[in-house]
Copies of this chain bind each other. A is one copy, B any other.
Amino acid sequence: MLFNKTVIIGTGLVGGSLGLALKEKHLVTQITGLSRHQKNAGLARKSGAIDYVGSSLEVVKDADLIVLATPIEAIIDIALKIAKKIKKDCIVIDVGSTKGSVVSKISPLIPNFIGCHPLAGSERKGAANLQKGIFNNSICIITPNVKTNKKILGKVVLLWRKLGSRVVILAPEKHDRILAFTSHLPHAVAFSLIGCIPTQYLSLSSGGLKDSTRISASDANLWSEVFLSNQRNLLSSLSAFQAKLAVLKLALERKNKKLLVNILSAANKKREKLG
């Protein structure tokens, strides 16, 4: 066992699936789950992701590990609320999609807080979609800051490795700069793409549109908070995307086939690297 008493706050897709995975790998002795939606926590208990449904934040008092798995604003809000309740050696992690604001706001109050971002979510949500295998063979980015205790960092790295994740360590700011391009921008694009298509045309689409907009089914509130918490970086990546789109549009306006082929060939080559 890596940890004894564990509390997961937010028993949705990522929090609940993490509970399942922690228990399957016998990494914790017991898990208490908390959710704004009592039904979600109940579902998580029934599926074996948690052992107990907590009734208030007081359950954090004797926890050895706390996982914050709510949308971004609630992560920060809850962290501030529990800061004075938790044991001194309790380790707190989150699984949110942006790290800069989370780490800078929580670290001063909870020294043993370490930001984590498992690249393992999906457009689905809720305790009805739990999958213990989502962390296996996926990447988990861990974002310590200069004050992070190395021993505690080692323990958190070990936790994710035991779940089968490949751990990448990045500064929170660098994480946000990169993920703005590789995750937040694709979401913003997908929401806009499906948004502009006349509803009556949707029945005449093929697999391309379906795949391209899969992530536009992602939770609206959760992703609004992701966007806002990484505002500057996302604005930069949006501008970079708009510039690329404008060049393609110009080539099309000018019927410049050579330029079009060049743009598309360069995209082909880059896409190959994604596998």
Binding site for B on A (CB under 8 A): 119-123, 138-139, 141, 168, 178-179, 181-183, 185-199, 201-202, 204-221, 223-225, 227-228, 231, 234-235, 237-238, 240-245, 248-249, 252-253, 255, 257, 260-261, 263-268, 270-275
Contact B244 A195 (CB under 8 A): yes
State whether A267 and B191 are in contact (beta carbons under 8 Å apart), knowing that A186-B208, A199-B273, A274-B209 are contacts in the complex: yes
- Pick the most buried of A122, A218, A270: most chain B CB atoms within 10 A of its CB: A270
Contact B119 A206 (CB under 8 A): yes
Chain B proximity of A161: nearest CB distance (Å) = 17
Chain B proximity of A177: nearest CB distance (Å) = 8
Point out the residues of chain B lying under 8 angstroms from A204, CB to CB. Answer: 119, 139, 141, 168, 178-179, 182
Point out the residues of chain B lying under 8 angstroms from A231, CB to CB. Answer: 252-253, 255
Q: How far is the CA of A141 from the CA of B204 in the complex (A)?
A: 9
Q: How far is the CA of A255 from the CA of B73 in the complex (A)?
A: 14
State whether A213 and B178 are in contact (beta carbons under 8 Å apart), knowing that A189-B245, A249-B238, A252-B231 are contacts in the complex: no
Q: How far is the CA of A219 from the CA of B275 in the complex (A)?
A: 16
| Interface CB pairs A-B, < 8 A, 18 | A181-B196, A181-B201, A182-B197, A189-B193, A189-B212, A195-B244, A205-B274, A211-B211, A212-B212, A217-B268, A219-B268, A220-B261, A224-B260, A224-B264, A228-B252, A238-B245, A238-B248, A238-B252
Q: How far is the CA of A189 from the CA of B244 in the complex (A)?
A: 9
Question: Which 6 interchain pairs have the tightest Cβ spacing?
Answer: A220-B264, A119-B206, A182-B205, A224-B260, A191-B267, A192-B244
Contact A212 B211 (CB under 8 A): yes
Contact A245 B192 (CB under 8 A): yes
Instruction: Give which listed residue, B196, B215, B253, B255, contacts A237 with CB less than 8 A.
Output: B196
Contact A205 B119 (CB under 8 A): yes
Contact B185 A193 (CB under 8 A): yes
Point out the residues of chain B lying under 8 angstroms from A272, CB to CB. Answer: 217
Chain B proximity of A219: nearest CB distance (Å) = 8
Contact B271 A196 (CB under 8 A): no
State whether A181 and B197 are in contact (beta carbons under 8 Å apart), knowing that A257-B224, A261-B221 are contacts in the complex: yes
State whether A241 and B196 are in contact (beta carbons under 8 Å apart), knowing that A206-B139, A208-B215, A220-B265 are contacts in the complex: yes
| Given A182-B197, A190-B208, 7 new contacts (CB under 8 A) | A120-B206, A183-B206, A192-B248, A195-B263, A212-B215, A218-B268, A235-B249
